Amino acid sequence: MPYLVRENLYIGNIEDAAEILVNGSEEVTHILSVLSSASISFFSEWRSEMVFPTKEIRKVYFRESKQEEEQLVVEEESETDSDKKKKNKLMCLVEYAGKDLKLVRMGVPLRDMERENLLDYLDVCLDFIDNSRKQGSVLVHCFAGVSRSASIITAYLMRTEQLSHEDALVSLRQSCEFVCPNDGFLEQLKMFEGMGFKVDPTSPIYKRFHLKILG
């Protein structure tokens, strides 16, 4: 069962998301899936009977520019840009999904690994949560509801309530006590705080981080 974190904002695991996709929900209108694959086919790989109707709204790609570590977003590219799509990394997939296609789901491909780049996905995730809460309510989930989803919601509380990463995590644990972002994500949340609750590609903090993850 999802945990209510703030008005119109829930945290949960893959089972919570699957239940809503199968049966619908009177509360949840949007789902943010933070799994190792953005595709809804991840659910059927998890359990073969979990096959849901979907209708794509858009895909968003990002790549690094030739200048420094600047992020560029490529949205809704035409078919003639298929070669470019292959070179660019998928940031997220947005689609109608589930019972009667009434849910809006955004899938973000992020693994629960300490060296995974959480920062570059934060802006699109936090914007989706913000917009979803204005239109209805949103469930943010990963596989276990412990690390990835907790990291995203912690960042959201940091930005919207101007909280330190420690205070935001303490606040989240008042709603869901077992959340535990991995050490790499915690370090990136500290960086997010250091950049003023935004992801700034021009910041020395961001540049040092990118050099580190690039090895």
Residues assigned a catalytic role: 142
| Amino acid letter, residue 92 | C
Positive or negative: CA dihedral 190, 195, 198, 201: negative
Separation between Cα atoms, residue 63 and residue 147, nearest integer Å:
25
Separation between Cα atoms, residue 118 and residue 190, nearest integer Å:
12
Pairing state of beta strands 30-35 and 138-141?
A: parallel
Separation between Cα atoms, residue 142 and residue 17, nearest integer Å:
9
How does 132-159 read in b/e, with b if 16+ C-beta sit within 10 Å?
bbeeebbbbbbbbbbbbbbbbbbbbbbb
Which one-letter DSSP state was computed for residue 101? Answer: G
Find, among 45, 43, 49, 53, the residue nearest to 18 by Cα.
43
